[in-house]
Structure 1
Amino acid sequence: MSFTLVAHTADIAVDATGETLDRTFEATAAGLSAAHCESIPGTGDRFGMSVAAESPEALLFDYLDELIYQRDVRGVLPTDHRVTVSEGAQPSLEASARGVALSDVDAREIKAVTYSEMALERTDSGWRAYVVFDV
């Protein structure tokens, strides 16, 4: 799995890949974490979350939105992501992240995930996600 941060006018985008949908969601979330700051300490406690949506694309959007919500509510930068996606009529996921106290990082604010140019697609080697974040 991997991700690349892509300059995007006043926003920032994450272009992520993974062999499975799980790894692609994890790589996209890792890109969101990296968009906040360059260096992330190994501190913090894990927390879990569950998300369901009407499509895989909506599930990715809602998952990333939940990470931003958890950041704001808990005062932590979610990192070290673990995701298990259940595909089907109503896709869902179980995930966890390690929450690093925002006071321990020099983070820029990511305001929101957007549907602008969003893509989630199968590739010959697995999956690819492209997501733009409002900064």
Structure 2
Amino acid sequence: MSYALREHTADVAVEATAPTLGGLFEAVADGLTAASCETVPDAGDRFELAVSAESREALLFDFLDQLIYERDVRLVLPADHECAIVAPDESGSGRAEATWTVEATARGVPLDAVAAREIKAVTYSEMRLERRDEEWYAYVVFDV
């Protein structure tokens, strides 16, 4: 799994690939962390979050939006992401669910321990999330 930061006018974009959808969410979230600061110290405690949405694209958007929210509320920079994706037909309830879910953890690095650039929001502008051959691909633009 990998990501790269891309210039995007006054914004910043993350381009990522991974063999699994969960790995892709982790890579994009790690890209968000890298867009926020150049170095991430080892400090911070892990926290959990879960997000649900009606599609994979909406799930990625809502997950990244939740990470920005967690940063603002907890005063931490989420880092070292771990994600598990539950597809609509994998709920285990015996019936198809209409939502996708990401169950995730991140390490919350205290903001006073980093020189962080503020990422204001995730955008749908030019967002792509797709399967390419044997891997997943995403391109996400963040408003800075």
Which TM-score bucket, shorter chain as reference? Answer: over 0.9
Count of aligned positions = 135
Identity %: 63
1:115 paired to 2:124: yes
Q: What CA distance in whole angstroms lies between the structure 1 residues aligned with 2:87 and 2:73?
A: 28
Q: What's the C-alpha RMSD, in Å, of the aligned pairs?
A: 0.5
Gaps of 5+ in 2: 89-97
1:80 paired to 2:89: no
How far the C-alpha of 1:125 sits from its partner, in A, is: 2.4
Question: What's the counterpart of residue 130 of structure 1?
Answer: 139
How far the C-alpha of 1:126 sits from its partner, in A, is: 1.2
Return structure 1 stretches of 4+ with deviation > 6 angstroms.
none
What amino acid does structure 2 have at the position aligned with 1:37?
A: C
TM-score between both structures, scaled by the size of structure 1: 0.99
1:1-135 superposed matches below 5 A? 1-88=1-88, 89-135=98-144
What amino acid does structure 2 have at the position aligned with 1:53?
A: A
Deviations 1:6-60 (A, max 9, x none): 0000000000110000000000000000000110001100000010000000000
What amino acid does structure 2 have at the position aligned with 1:40?
A: V
Gaps of 5+ in 1: none
Deviations 1:50-107 (A, max 9, x none): 1000000000000000000000000000000000001123110100000000000000
TM-score between both structures, scaled by the size of structure 2: 0.93
